[in-house]
Amino acid sequence: MPRNAESTAFRSALEVIRGVEPRVADAIGAELADQRESLKLIASENYASPATLLAMGNWFSDKYAEGTIGRRFYAGCQNVDTVEALAAEHARELFGATHAYVQPHSGIDANLVAFWAILADRVEAPALKRAQARHVNDLTEADWFALRRELGDQRMLGMSLDAGGHLTHGFRPNISGKMFDQRSYGTDPATGLVDYDKVAETAREFRPLVLVAGYSAYPRKVNFRIMREIADSVGATFMVDMAHFAGLVAGRVFTGDFDPVPHAHIVTTTTHKSLRGPRGGLVLCGPELADQVDRGCPMVLGGPLPHVMAAKAVALAEARQPDFADYARQVVDNAQALAEGLLRRGARLVTGGTDNHLVLIDVTGYGLTGRQAEQALLDSGIVTNRNAVPQDPNGAWYTSGIRIGTPALTTRGLGTAEMDTTAELIHTVLSQTSAGVGPDGTTSKAKYVLDPALADKVSRQASELLTGFPLYPDVELG
């Protein structure tokens, strides 16, 4: 049987790599095998299309392209201009945005570009006016000293980590926590939901320069219209990080008050996760911030990665096709079916369910920490990640939760019936796992006890479940 184009492309690539470093070729092949055989439930992961993957392995990787379209610091970037313009065009059309900046290498980079664009717009402009300078490069050392002093007093209000926020929203381990004086809003202890009245109260007290919405582990929708009203009431710039749910926005599952683009001053996202593209980021904004955003390189970024921008253009073009909306709807249907299956089996879920692509299990109901549950599931062929829950007693390392998501399994074609089976497998493992004992004889937060025979049985069941939903079925490496 003749090989199809996808098989030929990937087999040929591995043959070339094997000729230089066979261990790398072997690792690439092993990764495909591992992904094919395991239930990938990490909410921030997905499977990019062969076209997207292949767009990253080409001669664009060899180009330096600092600057923006038509204004590069290197000659010979006409083809880079083409793919960057295509990626930006697809992003604008897909999300209904006025301006799109597609150079960020990651979601963190996209957030940094947004933060500095906001600061430049809110602080640099007055500094330029005071100095009677026409451009930031014309500022004197004294001007910069005054500017740095002003920057040090800027405030950010974002969702707390244990409520589902992200490190890049002003927390100390990240550079954003050193740029801003940060305060958090949490969720209602009784419901786990965002309390908008409490957010408004905190905003009035704290008077932030930036109000950030968005999450990495909050299983519900956010009303961005209300959040914008809160931002406007205190004169804050409203920023939304939609990295996790961008695919649900692109697929028109989140519309109206739940679509951030019409309500936010500036929106950031990754291009993988639910958007199903390459690892990377982008920024969307209106004309008032566009010039500042386009200075992301060299303000924050190193040279843009033209091969990844090419892959972004391909993935965003795919997301503009009608079947992507069907995919996005199925992601949510699957997440809700998975949540319902877990609830029927007695699992505790943060907020009692989900409106989006992720489910957060409170594994203390099984007598486990998140770290124990994560490893026990991995032993059983189910890939997840531990995550804090609101007011987590086990902290951010051991945690009390497991975050699971449906974007990747939905890409493989699994539906709601398979989600119920998946819920049964998860519950079986967690209910049969117990906490281990540490060297001092006390209950361990890391060690656990799980019958290897049960883990092997569940792993085989997971593999059997996936048999009817092959990953990259047109790619054969053997």
Which residue(s) pair with 68 in the sheet? 71
64 is catalytic: yes
The helix (H) or strand (E) run that includes residue 82 is helix 78-95
The pLDDT value given to residue 1:
34
Asked about 384 being catalytic, the answer comes back as: no
Strand partners, 185: 159
What is the count of structural domains for the chain?
A: 2
Span between the terminal Cα atoms of the chain, in Å: 13
pLDDT band for position 296 (cuts 50, 70, 90): confident
- Whether residue 315 is found in the same domain as residue 331: no
Predicted pLDDT at 173: 67
94 and 226 share one domain: yes
Q: Which domain holds residue 131?
A: 60-319
Pick the catalytic residue from 84, 109, 241, 259: 241
Q: What percent of the chain has pLDDT over 90?
A: 72
Q: Report the pLDDT averaged over residues 266-285.
A: 96
Q: What is the pLDDT of residues 160-200, one digit of tens each?
A: 877 667 667 656 667 665 677 788 898 899 899 999 999 99
Burial letters 456-475, b for 16+ CB under 10 A, else e: eebbebbeebbeeeebbeeb
In this structure, the answer to whether residues 290 and 339 fall within a common structural domain is no
* Inside any domain, residue 40: no
Query: Does residue 216 share a domain with residue 192?
Result: yes
Pick the catalytic residue from 3, 18, 37, 64: 64
Residue 123 is given by DSSP the state I
Q: Do 356 and 258 meet the contact criterion of CB atoms below 8 Å apart?
A: no
**What whole-number percentage of the chain has pLDDT above 70?**
90
- Residue 279 catalytic? yes
Cα–Cα distance for residue pair 276/245, rounded to 1 Å: 11
Q: Which of 287, 303, 319 is the last residue of a domain?
A: 319
Residue tagged active-site, from 68, 268, 270, 369? 270
Give me the CATH number covering residue 96. Answer: 3.40.640.10
Shared domain for 334 and 310, answered yes or no, is: no
Tell whether 93 is covered by a domain.
yes
195 vs 193: CA distance, rounded Å: 6
> Has 66 been annotated as catalytic?
yes
- Please indicate, yes or no, whether residues 455 and 437 belong to a single structural domain of this protein: yes
- Residue ending a domain, choose from 296, 319, 342: 319
DSSP single-letter state for residue 194: B
Write down the catalytic residue from 18, 92, 225, 279: 279
Q: For 305-317, what is the mean pLDDT?
A: 97
**Distance between CA 295 and CA 156 in Å, rounded?**
22
User: Both 408 and 442 in a single domain?
Assistant: yes
**Range of lowest pLDDT (12-26, 141-155, 287-301, 378-392):** 141-155
Same domain, residue pair 430 and 379: yes
pLDDT bracket for residue 2 (50, 70, 90): very low
Same domain membership, residue 311 and residue 352: no
Classified as helix, coil or strand, 66 is coil
**Where is the domain boundary, 319, 335, 369?**
319
Q: Which of 72, 273, 312, 445 is catalytic?
A: 273
Cβ contact 296:113 at 8 Å: yes
**Known catalytic membership, residue 143:** no
pLDDT tens, residue by residue, 118-139:
887 776 666 555 555 555 556 5
CA-closest candidate to residue 404, choices 417, 392, 393, 419: 419
d(CA 29, CA 272): 21
Q: What CATH number did the domain enclosing 333 receive? A: 3.90.1150.10
